[in-house]
Amino acid sequence: MRTIIVAAACAFATAAHAQQGDAARGEQKFVECAACHSVERGVNNVGPTLAGVFGRKAGALAEFRYSAAMRKSGITWTPQTLDQYIADPQKSIPANRMPYAGLTDAAARADLIAYLEKATK
């Protein structure tokens, strides 16, 4: 029984560490996102600013024109919801306007989210 508990704890710790991500690598990955998104407050481009994104409802910035699908999604952005969205935007919110196929690499998503958590406060 003790072996099972220790193995489960190690598996949990490994999974948690893998999801933490590396903000420096995430900053490099953000270069692709920066073609459409800014991390500066009030600076919208083709996509909305990501400043203050965590805890914000999807489609909530008054100064950005979102798709109806995004506004009606009911999503509040957390590291988990953003991870799901970045993995496959069209699966996460069908009919949204973001022309991005998704980032299938979970480690790269964790890195990107770690950077966004740091850069968008």
Judge whether 9 lies within some domain. Answer: no
The tokens for 21 are 């991500």
Has residue 3 got a pLDDT over 60? no
The band of 19, judged by pLDDT with boundaries at 50, 70 and 90, is low
Separation of alpha carbons 118 and 63, rounded Å: 23
CATH number of the domain that residue 42 is part of: 1.10.760.10
Q: How many domains does the chain have?
A: 1
Q: Which domain holds residue 30?
A: 21-119
Reduce the DSSP state of residue 102 to 3 states and report it: coil
The 10 Å CB-count burial string (b at 16+, else e) for 2-35 is eeeeeeeeeeeeeeeeebebbbebbbebbeebee
Mean pLDDT of the region 77-93 = 97
- For 21, left (φ over 0), alpha (ψ -120 to 50), or beta? left
Q: What is the pTM of this model?
A: 0.83
